[in-house]
A and B are shown apart, each in its own frame.
Chain A
Amino acid sequence: MNLFASFMLTSMLMLLLPIIMSNTQLYKNNLYPHYVKTTISYAFAISMIPAMMFVSSGQETIVSNWHWLSIQTLKLSLSFKLDYFSIIFIPVALFVTWSIMEFSMWYMHTDPYINRFFKYLLMFLITMMILVTANNLFQLFIGWEGVGIMSFLLIGWWYGRADANTAALQAILYNRIGDVGFITAMAWFLANMNAWDFQQIFITQHKNLNIPLLGLLLAATGKSAQFGLHPWLPSAMEGPTPVSALLHSSTMVVAGVFLLIRFHPLMEQNKTMQTLTLCLGAITTLFTAICALTQNDIKKIVAFSTSSQLGLMIVTIGINQPYLAFLHICTHAFFKAMLFMCSGSIIHSLNDEQDIRKMGGLYKPMPFTTSSLIIGSLALTGMPFLTGFYSKDLIIETANTSYTNAWALSVTLIATSLTAAYSTRIMFFALLGQPRFNSLSPINENNPHLINSIKRLLVGSIFAGYLISHNIPPTTIPQMTMPHYLKLTALAMTITGFILALELNLAAKNLKFKYPSNLFKFSNLLGYFPTVMHRLPSTMSLTMSQKSASMLLDMIWLESVLPKSISHFQMKMSTIVSNQKGLVKLYFLSFMITLTLSLLLLSFHE
């Protein structure tokens, strides 16, 4: 009887303390951010203990504390599932959040509501923990909605800005569409398996699981910004950079992927669902990588990079490798958060300049940020033996050697080379060359908060892949033997992307930009998707409803058909009939002719 469950629950309960303290004096003074950051670092340390216990002995726990209610035959209780996925994800998430909190102490230093900011970030973290450790779908849904709400509050942090409000609303709406899928799945499970607990769902046999799995796929599409429900992620960059680093790169957007990973026993048998996820992920990763190539806002490029990596994770689930997808989630958190933090450092130093066309030559004034940006980009593209290599390269190898959809595979490979291309673009425009920014901005990266936080994630970006992949219990066996050209595919695509992008950027550096080509316009306007889908369906449905409700029902059926038509008709007729000309003889004559005709015609009736 060891303290496994106690440590884990302690670490999660600790996160609640600063929220509880927010009614006291502690919330009002300016040490509150420091307090929150320290709490999270202690929670990380404590959660490492159960993680190491799991690593050495493979122990998993399910903690069911409190029976909440029973609705006829459904029992709902507060139940935490501490298995492979939760135990490894929680320390990773806490580590990344610790660094982000420290970073926000520097980034949001001048904000008068910094205490509230930290409280919101902490509440987000708590709901994410609830999501990850949930053992039943109800608790997961609580976490799911919680992260959605906190995302809304945090994206719209600067609510005076109209774009920020629109972006927050957009995030909520797109997530809601995904929630419909989630609720469909919950309803199906309740109706057909009488349970919302994972254990019971995975044990009961059922022939056709298409409906709930489709619902879960829709939920993942909404939350993880897959193609079709993706525009909210680039728009979510309206929030402050720590928010982008935490929510929209490491933690919230992986909730959708995490949901699919949780349900991997159900997805293993269903080939249709696997094909669907594969194709969805493939099209997402290619589309967002194409869109990332021509963006000019550094945060948007990193956002599209996140979206592309999420597509890659979904592709991994589609080739029936949930453990690899999970590994990619953990490694991706490190370098993506670091990329966002480096962009935040650049943005703040250049006095809130986010356009890469106005940056340049930053490698001399900001050496630390430069090196961490370059290392982060290399880790992202899967440079051998950095973090990204251990997950991304494995994914590409497995996809190459598995019996899968060739189109999806080739599209993923193209997206891999595009990853290298846009990473090169960021580095080229932001760091290299001559400066293009105003010369009066005080470029300073000397703050210990900034340096320490990026340093921690830097160490993580370099070593975490190795550490995690060598310490986890064995899962599905990766493919051990393959031809050398398949093994080197990922590396070759990445190097191709790097070289191509570098050559193009160098060659076109001082050329005049005449007219954008059609392909450029497609890529820059995000494939015309937001332009079309935000305007056309809404105008159509609103016009249709206005026409049917107001015009058809009100104006026509209730007004026009009987009342107005009768009065109109009568008035018309009376003016016609009263328009006499006094042709009495003609009238009499016509009367007589009618009589005669009718007599003649009707007299021959037998």
Chain B
Amino acid sequence: MSMVYVNMFLAFIMSLMGLLVYRSHLMSSLLCLEGMMLSLFIMMTVTILNNHFTLASMTPIILLVFAACEAALGLSLLVMVSNTYGTDYVQNLNLLQC
């Protein structure tokens, strides 16, 4: 595998780690979610361009659309939590009451 792919795969793994292991702010996991989406987008585009797989050229756009939806969802959840507690600390999420 060439270096480019390894690089981007590593970026994906970093973001995944950041998503799963975070300390107190919910925002950081959302940001890492965006990072995962970004690395996926770049990897997909580079692969398509390098292999001249023109029929699949629309997939990065679709990926962008879905990523935007999920970002919006995540932000709305964050806003809900923030409305109740004032901050977005994860320790607040212990009673299933938002």
Which of B19-27, B36-44, B46-54 faces chain A?
B19-27
**Contact-size category for A:** 10 to 19
Closest to B94 in A: A582
- Contact, CB under 8 Å: B96 / A582: yes
Query: With a CB–CB cut-off of 8 A, which chain A residues contact B29?
Result: 588
The verdict on A585 contacting chain B, using a C-beta distance below 8 Å, is yes
- Complex CA–CA separation, A580 to B96 (angstroms): 8
Q: Is A581 close to B, CB under 8 A?
A: yes
Neighbouring B residues of A592 by C-beta, 8 Å: 16-17, 20-21
CB distance from B74 to the nearest CB of A (A): 13
Partner of A588 from B21, B94, B95, B96 at Cβ < 8 Å:
B21
A580-599 vs B, Cβ < 8 Å mask (1 yes, 0 no): 11111100110110010000
Indicate if the CB atoms of A585 and B96 lie closer than 8 Å: no
Q: Which residue in chain B gives the minimum CB-CB distance to A591? A: B20
A589 engages B90 (CB within 8 Å)? no
Cα A583 to Cα B96 in complex, Å, equals 10
Which of A580, A582, A583, A589 is in CB contact (< 8 Å) with B21?
A589
Q: What B residues does A581 contact at CB under 8 A?
A: 94
CB B24 to nearest CB in A, in angstroms, measures: 9
Asked if residues B19 and A588 are in contact (CB atoms below 8 Å), the reply is yes
A-chain residues with CB within 8 Å of residue B17 when the two chains form the complex: 592
Find chain B residues with CB under 8 A from A584 CB.
Answer: 90, 93
How many B residues have CB within 8 A of the partner chain? 13
Residues of B within 8 A of A582 (CB): 93-96
A337–chain B nearest beta-carbon distance, Å: 95
A585 and B94 contact, CB distance less than 8 A: no
Across the interface, do B93 and A588 meet the contact criterion of CB distance under 8 Å? no
Say how far A583's CB is from chain B's closest CB, in angstroms.
8
CB neighbours of B19 from chain A (8 A): 588
The residue in A580, A582, A591, A595 that gathers the most chain B C-beta atoms within 10 A of its C-beta is A582
Residues of A within 8 A of B21 (CB): 585, 588-589, 592
Q: Which residues of B contact A589 (CB under 8 A)?
A: 20-21
Q: Residues of B contacting A585 with CB < 8 Å?
A: 21-23, 90
Q: In the assembled complex, which residues on chain A have CB atoms less than 8 Å from the CB atom of B93?
A: 582, 584
Residue of B whose beta carbon sits closest to that of A588: B20
How near does chain B come to A14, taking the closest CB pair, in angstroms? 101
CA distance A584 to B21 in the complex (A): 10
* 8 A Cβ contacts from B1-40 to A: 16-17, 19-23, 29
Instruction: Give Cα A589 to B20, complex, Å.
Output: 6
B81 to chain A, nearest CB (A): 11
A580-B97 Cα distance, complex, nearest whole Å:
11
* Contacts of B52-85 to chain A: CB distance below 8 A: none
Q: How far is the CB of A584 from chain B (nearest CB, A)?
A: 6
Nearest CB on B from A138, distance (A)? 85
A contact residues around B23 at 8 Å (CB): 585
Minimal Cβ-Cβ distance residue in B for A583: B94
Closest to A585 in B: B90
Complex-state Cα separation, A581 to B29, whole angstroms: 19
* Minimum distance in angstroms from A91 CB to a CB of chain B: 103
A587 to chain B: closest CB distance in Å? Answer: 9
Q: Distance (Å) between the CB of A586 and the closest chain B CB?
A: 10
Kindly provide the distance from the CB of A347 to the nearest chain B CB, expressed in whole angstroms: 89
26 pairs from A and B in contact (CB 8 Å cutoff): A580-B96, A581-B94, A582-B93, A582-B94, A582-B95, A582-B96, A583-B94, A584-B90, A584-B93, A585-B21, A585-B22, A585-B23, A585-B90, A588-B19, A588-B20, A588-B21, A588-B22, A588-B29, A589-B20, A589-B21, A591-B20, A592-B16, A592-B17, A592-B20, A592-B21, A595-B16
Which chain A residues have a beta carbon within 8 Å of chain B's beta carbons? 580-585, 588-589, 591-592, 595
The 5 closest A-B pairs by CB, nearest first: A592-B20, A582-B94, A588-B20, A582-B93, A580-B96
**Known pairs A582-B96, A585-B22, A589-B20 / 9 extra A-B pairs, C-beta < 8 Å:** A581-B94, A582-B93, A582-B95, A584-B90, A585-B21, A585-B23, A585-B90, A588-B20, A588-B21
Question: Interface of B with A (CB < 8 Å)?
Answer: 16-17, 19-23, 29, 90, 93-96
